[in-house]
Amino acid sequence: MGIVTNWTIFRKFYIVGFTMIVIILFGIGGFMLIEKWSFFDSFYMTVITITTVGFGEVHKLSSNGRLFTVILILSTFGTFTYLISLVTSLIASGELGKNLKIYRNLKLMSGMKNHVIVCGLGRVGNQVVKDLIADGFNVVAIESNLDRTVQENVILINGDATNDEILEKAGINNARTIVACLPNDTDNLFVVLSAREKNKSLQIISRASQKSSIDKMKYAGANHVIMPDSIGGSHMASIVSAPVVIDFLDQIRIDKHDGANIESISFEELPMIYQDKTLEELNIKKQTGATVIGFRLKNGEFIINPADSTVIEEHSSLLVLGNATEIENVNKLFNLTTKK
């Protein structure tokens, strides 16, 4: 089970605390006005009255003072009874420890940066979260249904992802990516619009059920729009026509097989001494053992098995294939930091 931020519980304690402050001020003011006592004597009398410790009166009370004391005790009794029942129910249900953990994680989330927000924890959303956690990303999930479950190490915010306030609580302004996995295209479109408005540099990935929604979501600000049903169907068909190829790609892309990994390297990630060089000059195969299998031009077009004369220019990217050791060699060669 993930970490659920249930704002209602905290709100109840805030209300109780605020009520107690009002009662204390009411008691101090009453004793000062009725009995003409000093602030300290009035404060002391108020505290021993509402806590019912029974130390006795500070000074002899008048008839009006006694009546006021009765009113003060009765007004306090209901508040204390509610507080005791609230704490007892939290302890009995195990919610107290859980919500203390929530508070600590909310403090942690307040300084979180470059995390991924996942909206919706259905089958698609849960798979997204599972893979992101496995890859070492910090994940904040938003889900309105508390019956949904999510694995450990995920901060789960209970709320509506289409609500701007909930997105802000999830740290939308400091996030690196948001993934909209809600079952309804209209809701996903709303999330895309809100997210793009709040964070212009945010990477936005959205789920779509209808093909007609793709262009709308991209126009609204989505960088990528995914149709799970379409991708699943195409994947099944590909297994029929090229099973060995698909098994190999699945080991890399889905199973994350230790024997084969693909890493992308953008022009901007490369140290300046390697920028604007040809693949032949980089000599990646000889230096690391990894193979350059693809090249993305700045216009987004991909070149498979690029020629040695290909120049690494601004806004372009390399796709490198290798085992875990070879990919590690690539990262060391180019002084690449983790992308998590």
User: Over 80: is that where the pLDDT of 275 sits?
Assistant: yes
As a whole number of angstroms, the distance between CA 128 and CA 140 comes to 12
Give burial (CB, 10 Å; 0-12/13-18/19+) of 179. buried
Query: pLDDT by residue (tens digit) across 134-189?
Result: 888 899 999 988 777 667 778 888 889 999 999 998 999 999 999 999 999 999 99
pTM: 0.64
In this predicted structure, what is the pLDDT of residue 237? 93
Query: pLDDT by residue (tens digit) across 221-243?
Result: 999 999 998 988 998 999 999 99
In this predicted structure, what is the pLDDT of residue 30? 87
Cβ neighbors of 276 (< 8 A, separation 6 or more) are 311, 312, 313
| CATH code of the region 111-230 | 3.40.50.720
As a whole number of angstroms, the distance between CA 272 and CA 268 comes to 9
Question: What is the dihedral sign for C-alpha 279, 280, 282, 286?
Answer: positive
Decide yes or no: CATH 3.40.50.300 for domain 242-333.
no
Crossing angle of the two packed helices 63-93 and 7-35, in degrees rounded to 10: 170
Question: What is the dihedral sign for C-alpha 181, 186, 187, 193?
Answer: positive
What stretches of 193-281 adopt beta strand conformation (E)? 203-207, 224-226, 261-266
- Residue ranges matching CATH 3.40.50.720 in the chain: 111-230
Region for residue 153 given its phi and psi (left: phi exceeds 0; alpha: psi -120 to 50; beta: otherwise): left
Cβ neighbors of 251 (< 8 A, separation 6 or more) are 257, 259, 260
Give CA angle at 187 (153, 168), nearest 5°. 50
- Residue ranges matching CATH 3.30.70.1450 in the chain: 242-333
Instruction: Specify the 3-state DSSP secondary structure of 158.
Output: strand
Query: pLDDT by residue (tens digit) across 55-80?
Result: 666 678 888 888 888 888 888 877 77
Scored b (16 or more CB within 10 A) or e, 1-13 reads ebbbbbeebeeee
Give the pairing type, strands 291-296 and 317-322. Answer: antiparallel
Give CA angle at 297 (234, 228), nearest 5°. 20
Which residue type, as a one-letter code, is found at position 198?
A: K
Contact 178, 172 (CB under 8 A): yes
Cβ neighbors of 216 (< 8 A, separation 6 or more) are 189
Closest CA to 317 of 263, 273, 280, 272: 263
Sheet holding 139-143, edge to edge: 3-5, 154-158, 139-143, 116-119, 177-180, 203-207, 224-226
As a whole number of angstroms, the distance between CA 193 and CA 142 comes to 17
User: Over 50: is that where the pLDDT of 6 sits?
Assistant: yes
- Residue ranges matching CATH 1.10.287.70 in the chain: 8-94
**Which tokens go with 270?**
């490369």
Rounded mean pLDDT, 103-119 = 78
Decide yes or no: CATH 1.20.1560.10 for domain 8-94.
no
User: Over 90: is that where the pLDDT of 104 sits?
Assistant: no
Give CA angle at 128 (9, 241), nearest 5°. 160
As a whole number of angstroms, the distance between CA 250 and CA 326 comes to 19
User: Over 90: is that where the pLDDT of 247 sits?
Assistant: no
